[in-house]
Structure 1
Amino acid sequence: MTTFVDRVELHAAAGNGGHGCASVHREKFKPLGGPDGGNGGRGGDVILVVDQSVTTLLDYHHSPHRKATNGQPGAGDNRSGKDGQDLVLPVPDGTVVLDKQGNVLADLVGQGTTFVAGQGGRGGLGNAALASARRKAPGFALLGEPGEARDVVMELKTVADVALVGYPSAGKSSLISVLSAAKPKIADYPFTTLVPNLGVVTAGSTVYTIADVPGLIPGASQGKGLGLEFLRHVERCSVLVHVLDTATLESDRDPVSDLDVIEAELSQYGGLDDRPRLVVLNKIDIPDGQDLADMIRPELEERGYQVFEISAIARTGLKELSFALAGIIAQARAAKPAEEATRIVIRPKAVDDTGFTVTQEEDGIFRVRGEKPERWVRQTDFNNDEAVGYLADRLNRLGVEDALMKAGARGGDGVAIGPEENAVVFDWEPTMMAGAEMLGRRGEDHRLEAPRPAAQRRRDREAERDESQREYDEFNPF
């Protein structure tokens, strides 16, 4: 049964924004008190956050589809809808987030580091927010935007200072168990270790972490065995330690050839040539193991390796190895540049940036792309003529009408706003630039215009008194 997962595909869906409300305030003796529709609530975000208590991506392997809650719609009496609740997903330290094409979106290292995997949709404006001196009583509201839906790949790359590499059963797990307080599963058969083990080591004033990379065999970098699944865990390490078995029972193996095979796999995987290397000759407590270590040590030192002879079982040679690793790690940490203060990069738009583009495609369709036009289309209720006219006015003020004319569009030509898979297509007519004239005086009500004449106001008061008397007589017959 799978207990460790370090690569998953996550289907993140942010919450949709709530729709705005189109409402008119009404009360007794006040038939039209003005628009009072509230705004819709914002949809919840999907947020990845580093949590040190999480060590695997197993939860997302079993439940890859995650969705935040939607924003609530607005209501009358200027009541805005409730915002959707953000969905916070804990991930292990060292998680890398990629898109489906393999491009890195975020590298999450450090407790509390966050990444927004899905942005919640904006809530639509109610008609109270859309009212203006020209549009005093809008009969429409804006729709909420759909939340962002995105598929991402999450890979876990263990954050450790030292990586132990070597053949199965070379003694990597045993070495971690005696250098630190880690308690990995240990047995005398290959592939005992199915997950990277991580331990914390203290050597003098230096504290560092050490991890093993299980299952490296010839062909691991091409996917053979378990090695490819765990090679990514060595990428963040400062030093690599080759653990060689000097007491192997396999006749076709010896420590030097084991070292060459593992180095070839690391080279084919790539990106690790700059890591310093140490060689550990393990199992010297066995007589044949000590003899073989004495034979191959000169050859390894000639290659430039620093060699340590140890026995994880007898716990010999561990102190020298521990302090040597601490020295290398201290140097690596000192060589790293100090963290720079967070910088805010401001990239102002070009003075000639209109915020949208108009292009003519091979089939003759004129396609409009841009953040604002596409967002406005998503927020428009096309069943409401007044809302459609409002969209026409917005597009005209943005300059879309003029841009279409410059691009050669003529009456009756097809115009698409948005991407090909989700666009609004219509036959364009130049008269749409006067959306207000097409649909009349949208959002205006004669009862909210100039003050009524004195005689009319007197007749209205008398009618209201008569209505009140009729209501009183109806409920008080005696």
Structure 2
Amino acid sequence: MAAFVDRVTVHVTAGNGSHGVSSVHREKFKPLGGPDGGNGGDGGDVVLEVDPNVHTLLDFHHSPHQKAGNGRQAAGDYKNGGRGEDRVLRVPPGTVVTVDGEVVADLMGAGTRLVLAHGGKGGLGNAALANSRRKAPGFALLGEPGESVDAVLELKSIADVGLVGYPSAGKSSLVAAMSAARPKIADYPFTTLVPQLGVVRSGDVTYTMADVPGLIPGASTGKGLGLQFLRHVERCAVLVHVVDMATMEPGRDPESDIVALEHELREYGGDELDLVGRLRIAVLNKIDVPDGRELVDLVRDTLEARGLQVFPVSVATHEGLDQLGFALAREVEEHRAAQPEVEPVRITLTPRAANEEGFTVEPDPRTGGWLVRGTRPERWIRQTDFTNDEAVGYLADRLNRLGVEEGLAKAGAVPGDAITVGDVTFDWEPTLPAGTLTVEETAGLGGRGTDTRLEDNTRLSADERLAAKKARRLPYELAGDGWVDADLIDDTRSK
């Protein structure tokens, strides 16, 4: 017999993106055909999908670790890698998903999907990295790892009718008598340890009935099994109090049982759920026992005065079950007519990172240097192949354009300080771009844009520039007081 599991913790990992490829097109008589490395494939997602044919979380109890497929590898000749296979986890309707203590989704409606963990992006190949300034990149970006999420899945059963009452009142027997369900039935309290579901057909109406165990005085505060199973009554359209007419316990009678039950429902649900308002029917069970029918006559008027419909039944002889079934069908139909139709939706779990578009610089007490935090810098670190000098230079350019070096300088960093971005720590060597500082400020720094061979270019006359152009025998020509790049001399001819 399959076990009923209504709360599990799952550890899901999305697929990793595959690496981009660094490749050069090779063809006969065309030894330098240009970069043609393809992009890596994205990793697969981990997705929760509502399936009405699933009624328990048992599968995840036995297999709590779930992983999606990795992206497929790219190749040369502009061949991109394929996307990894998604991992789709089927869950019952009414599954509540909690991540880091926060409820992120309440999955209702067949086909509703939640992307719980996103696959990593595939790395760009060198063909995608080429541009007018970088015509033949000798590197590619690495694929990013997929997300890992620990989530708590909690099932709140979706039943049309919920049977509540004291242990051994006959709730499981009622489910067995009115449906094809066969729960365990015995003559001792707490025989039922998990909710039992049955499908009932009354006339043209089909509805589900659930036996919810564990409701005793103090259940709303955790006594007995109450807190463990009270959540299963939250979604029931109608609540039915099954009253034991043959109880021999001192101090108990049908009216006191209902008063105690209403108190527990009110304490658990409060005004927001209004569970007491759904308690419309009282089933007086075991009227076949001696004095059972006489007791029904004594309590009927009192219960009806409380606004309850009273149905005396005998599960043993099936007396009164047809009338009860049709009454429940009418209540269920009224509830369904008042509810809007639930359309399947796609939910994406995308917690937005703080300062997503920028970065922060703060002291790092661990290294005595500086810690750079930010979605983009940390992502670029993961994409970089640190065994390739050109790839490292590309990373430095990206960080520089983002303003990381300027931010470090403003924070008080000096050359040689340990800088940590993501899981990588390196010594800072400033490489400010051309035009950021004056010539005097860059003297001795050796940064970009400080080539002293270009300093005398503006002192050349038109005749000197023409002469240098005609005498173009070396990459650099002597003109005036310094050596000048011949290509730069050619570019000034319009002046």
Return the TM-score normalized by structure 1.
0.80
**In the alignment, residue 133 of structure 1 is paired with which amino acid?**
S
Aligned match of 1:385: 389
1:150-182: CA deviations, max 9, x gaps?
000001111112111112221112222333343
State how far apart, in whole Å, the 1-side matches of 2:447 and 2:76 are: 29
State the SS of the aligned residue for 2:431.
helix
Q: Does 1:395 align with 2:399?
A: yes
**In the alignment, residue 68 of structure 1 is paired with which amino acid?**
A
Aligned match of 2:299: 296
Aligned-pair CA distance for 1:432: 5.3
Aligned match of 1:329: 332
Q: Does 1:246 align with 2:245?
A: yes
Q: Does 1:376 align with 2:377?
A: no
Aligned-pair CA distance for 1:222: 4.0
Aligned match of 1:460: none
1:298-348: CA deviations, max 9, x gaps?
333333333322222222333443333333333333443566898999xxx
**In the alignment, residue 379 of structure 1 is paired with which amino acid?**
Q
8 A contact 2:111–2:344 mirrored in 1: no
Q: Which moved more, 1:371-380 or 1:399-408?
A: 399-408
Q: Which moved more, 1:372-381 or 1:27-36?
A: 27-36
8 A contact 1:392–1:432 mirrored in 2: no
State how far apart, in whole Å, the 2-side matches of 1:208 and 1:354 are: 49
Aligned match of 2:133: 134
Aligned-pair CA distance for 1:83: 2.3
8 A contact 1:389–1:439 mirrored in 2: no
1:174-221: CA deviations, max 9, x gaps?
222333343333333333323322233344554432211023334433
Aligned match of 1:283: 286
**In the alignment, residue 170 of structure 1 is paired with which amino acid?**
A
State the SS of the aligned residue for 1:158.
coil
1:120-165: CA deviations, max 9, x gaps?
1111111121111211111111000000000000011111121111
The 5-angstrom pairing of residues 107-122 of structure 1 reads 107-122=106-121
State how far apart, in whole Å, the 2-side matches of 1:201 and 1:354 are: 53
Aligned match of 2:475: none
Change (3 A) 1:341 1:153: closer
Change (3 A) 1:197 1:71: same
Aligned-pair CA distance for 1:23: 1.9
Change (3 A) 1:314 1:432: farther
The 5-angstrom pairing of residues 54-93 of structure 1 reads 54-93=54-93
The 5-angstrom pairing of residues 395-434 of structure 1 reads 395-407=399-411, 409-418=413-422, 423-431=423-431, 433=433
State how far apart, in whole Å, the 2-side matches of 1:52 and 1:359 are: 50
State how far apart, in whole Å, the 2-side matches of 1:187 and 1:438 are: 85
Return the TM-score normalized by structure 2.
0.77
Aligned match of 2:462: none
8 A contact 2:108–2:342 mirrored in 1: no
**In the alignment, residue 288 of structure 2 is paired with which amino acid?**
D
State how far apart, in whole Å, the 1-side matches of 2:260 and 2:387 are: 69
The 5-angstrom pairing of residues 1-400 of structure 1 reads 3-101=3-101, 103-204=102-203, 206-251=205-250, 253-271=252-270, 272-274=273-275, 275-277=277-279, 278-337=281-340, 355-361=357-363, 363=365, 366-400=370-404
8 A contact 2:356–2:374 mirrored in 1: no
Change (3 A) 1:341 1:256: closer
**In the alignment, residue 274 of structure 2 is paired with which amino acid?**
D
State how far apart, in whole Å, the 2-side matches of 1:36 and 1:395 are: 26
State how far apart, in whole Å, the 2-side matches of 1:365 and 1:162 are: 64
Aligned-pair CA distance for 1:414: 4.7
Larger radius of gyration: 2
Change (3 A) 1:303 1:129: same
State how far apart, in whole Å, the 1-side matches of 2:370 and 2:387 are: 24
Q: Which moved more, 1:12-21 or 1:161-170?
A: 161-170
Aligned-pair CA distance for 1:354: 7.9
Aligned-pair CA distance for 1:406: 5.0
1:423-455: CA deviations, max 9, x gaps?
433344432557xx9799xxxxxxxxxxxxxxx
Cα RMSD, aligned residues only: 3.1
Change (3 A) 1:383 1:410: same
Change (3 A) 1:55 1:76: same
Structure 2 unmatched ranges of 5 or more: 435-445, 450-495
Percent pairwise identity: 64
Q: Which moved more, 1:210-219 or 1:318-327?
A: 318-327
Aligned-pair CA distance for 1:285: 1.8
State how far apart, in whole Å, the 1-side matches of 2:411 and 2:390 are: 28
State how far apart, in whole Å, the 2-side matches of 1:427 and 1:224 are: 60
**In the alignment, residue 8 of structure 2 is paired with which amino acid?**
V
